[in-house]
Amino acid sequence: MKKLNLLVAALISLFTINITAQEIIHDADHYVLLKQHGDDWEKQDKEIDKKLKALEKKHGTKPNIIHIMWDDSGVGEVGIPEIQKVRGFETPNMNNMAKEGMNMMRMYTEPSCTPTRADAMTGRYAVRTGMHTVSFPIENSGIDGDEVTIAEVLSDAGYSTAFYGKWHLGDTEESYAHNQGFDEAFFTPYNQVPSMWVREAEANNVVTGLYPELYGEDIYDIDKSWQPIGYVWTLEGTKGGKTYEWGAPPAVPNFWDIDKECEKRTIEFIRKNAAEKKPFYTAYWPTVTSFIPDVRSPEKLTANKNVLQEGLVKVDEFIGELHEELEALGIAENTLVIIMADNGPFTHHGPRGMVETLYTGGKGDLTEGGVRVPCIATWPGMIEEGQIVGDIIHVTDLYTTFASIGGATDYIPRDRVIDGVDQTSLLVNGDGYSRRDYVMIYQGPNLAAGVKGRFKKDYKNAEPGLSGAEFYDLYTDPREQNPEMIQQFHTKSMFQRQKERHLMFMEKYPNRPDATRGIPLQGIENVRPETEALYHAPFNESDLPFDINEVIEFEMPYVDTKK
């Protein structure tokens, strides 16, 4: 190991990298690019600063930032009407955003929702924050209080901040969105799966075992304590304030009402800050769907009729209303709006309608279909109309880019690796101006693949000790159907150096091994008895031969469920 570190250090020293205590620490490959393009980037940044100052002078505030992110959509699902024509649905407002702004064809995320959301909040790969595994009720863990979210960074720079929608970053009190830097938050600690954890679903055999009282007597059902029934769907709170449960699950209509409430609060938040001439950052991450139909409106909106497409047209309607509101308030020119998905389609064991569009694979996969998503941005006067961008951008880049636009980079922590790089130049200058040509793709805590420009290496399926067909040219084989060996041997050492640099920085700045453990769903003012029962077993816990807190704090080893 010592020899390896010396080798990697020698490779990096060729670029004479010196990171001072005042600089943001990025992953190693950033410095390889910085040494080659730093002078050009500096010139670009000076011109961007002039534009941002002129914009601030015109509007009296720094730019507003709106980030909308939903679930499980492949590249082409929105923004490309030609594809929608053969899919049985339309999103005219999103498609219009692509016409009036920038359609990013190479936005990378993590393979699943919790990791991507952690990336967006912290600017760090989920493997670094310990948020690398999808959360399900009851999770007993969440994002650590020591992580510095984009809400905290922008708050320190004078922004109003709000979160609405699917948080999915844990159920511990320290992980709540309003305890992670947001001035106000209305959020679901989990994903959409609990929408079907209701009596109606049990009665119709959609789920099994949640409500055994609906069955005939089962004399073999011995343990009456193991099934959690006190989960919550939605929490709300303000920074430094109390936490309340919104609604009273389980009730089917309540879940369908979450997004409507989010949309209402988003518009109210925007209006309030526009009136006060205060810059704002709001993240609206819609739940998009419930897995149980809303009996109040059983009609379908699309010919496709499946849950994702039905949800997308509802999100699209709100996006139209949002842009109209920005125009009416006179702040459209001073507002960056980014819409995107969190990972590829739920093609494995998911609902109908989740299909590969352009790329192979989906949610959970290391292939492009799992980690490449639609992403569209508008910012009138700053982003030129009608752009189709082929540059690599990563979801962590939003963290650093938002901070840069908001004049908040001084508040980004300097004691850890920030994977996100500032992509303001890509937004302002367009195609060819990305500051990234690399991505490291993780599945859980395991490095699964690496991307460098047009090339990709599959680490997960590589034969140990051998050189096999584990290399891809994404220009000639975008669906990763034909792995190569002989034709791409020249990339082997390139990927080896990339991996060595990456792992060396990981050793220097160690990862958090897992999400921070804790007792779930505490600190709720209007807590229901069912939820409170989660804290206690239906017997005297002191009679057990182990401490229940030790169980909560015990860190389980990661298990690859696909093996």
212-249 residue pLDDT tens: 889 898 899 888 777 778 889 999 999 999 999 998 77
Answer whether residue 14 shows pLDDT above 50: no
What pLDDT was estimated at residue 16?
A: 45
Q: Give the pLDDT confidence of 243-276 residue by residue, as tens digits.
A: 999 987 788 899 999 999 999 999 999 999 999 9
Q: Of 394, 451, 452, nearest to 426 (Cα)? A: 394
DSSP 239: T
With contact defined as beta carbons under 8 Å apart, do 450 and 440 qualify?
yes
> pLDDT digit string (tens) for 43-71?
999 999 999 999 999 999 999 999 999 99
Tell me, what's the pLDDT at 125?
98
- Cβ pair 70, 285 in contact under 8 A: yes
Which pLDDT score is estimated for 1? 47
CB 558 within 8 Å of CB 445: yes
What is the average per-residue pLDDT within 489-505? 95
Nearest to 290 by CA among 318, 260, 264: 260
pLDDT value for 228: 76
- Of 134, 153, 147, which is closest to residue 174 (Cα–Cα)? 147
Q: Concatenate the DSSP letters of all residues of 252-313 into one string.
A: HHHHHHHHHHHHHHHHHHHHHHHHTT--EEEEEE-----SS--TT----SSSS-SHHHHHHH
At residue 10 the predicted structure's pLDDT band, cuts being 50, 70 and 90, is very low
Which tokens sit at 452?
Answer: 């460098």
Share of the chain above pLDDT 90, in %: 79
- The answer to whether the beta carbons of residues 40 and 48 sit under 8 Å apart is no
How much is the pLDDT for 136? 86
| pLDDT at residue 543 greater than cutoff 90 | no
**pLDDT at residue 7 in the model:** 46
Whole-angstrom distance, CA of residue 552 vs CA of residue 563: 26
Give the chain's end-to-end CA distance (angstroms, integer): 28
The residue assigned the tokens 């209509």 is: 253
| Residue 445: band (very low, low, confident or very high) from pLDDT cuts 50, 70, 90 | very high
Tokens of 61: 């505030």
State which amino acid sits at residue 526.
Answer: N
For 202-214, write each residue's pLDDT tens digit.
998 988 888 888 9
Mean pLDDT, rounded, of the chain: 92
Query: For position 466, what pLDDT does the model report?
Result: 81
pLDDT at 98 over 50: yes
| Radius of gyration of the chain from its Cα atoms, rounded to whole angstroms | 24
What does 90-156 look like in DSSP terms, one character per residue? Answer: --HHHHHHHHHSEEEEEEE--SSHHHHHHHHHHSS-HHHHT--S---SS--EE--TTS--HHHHHHH
Question: DSSP string of 443-476?
Answer: ETTEEEEEEETTEEEESTTPPTTS--S-EEETTT
Give the three-state DSSP class for 334.
helix
* pLDDT > 70 fraction of the chain, expressed in percent and rounded: 91
Convert the pLDDT of each residue in 139-183 to its tens digit: 999 999 999 999 999 999 999 999 999 999 999 999 999 999 999
Q: Pick from 475, 512, 96: which is nearest to 323 by CA?
A: 96
Average pLDDT over residues 380-397: 98
pLDDT of residue 8: 47
Model confidence pLDDT, tens digit, residues 71-82: 999 999 999 999
Angle at 498 between CA 497 and CA 502, to 5 degrees: 115
Predicted local distance difference test score (pLDDT) of residue 544 = 67
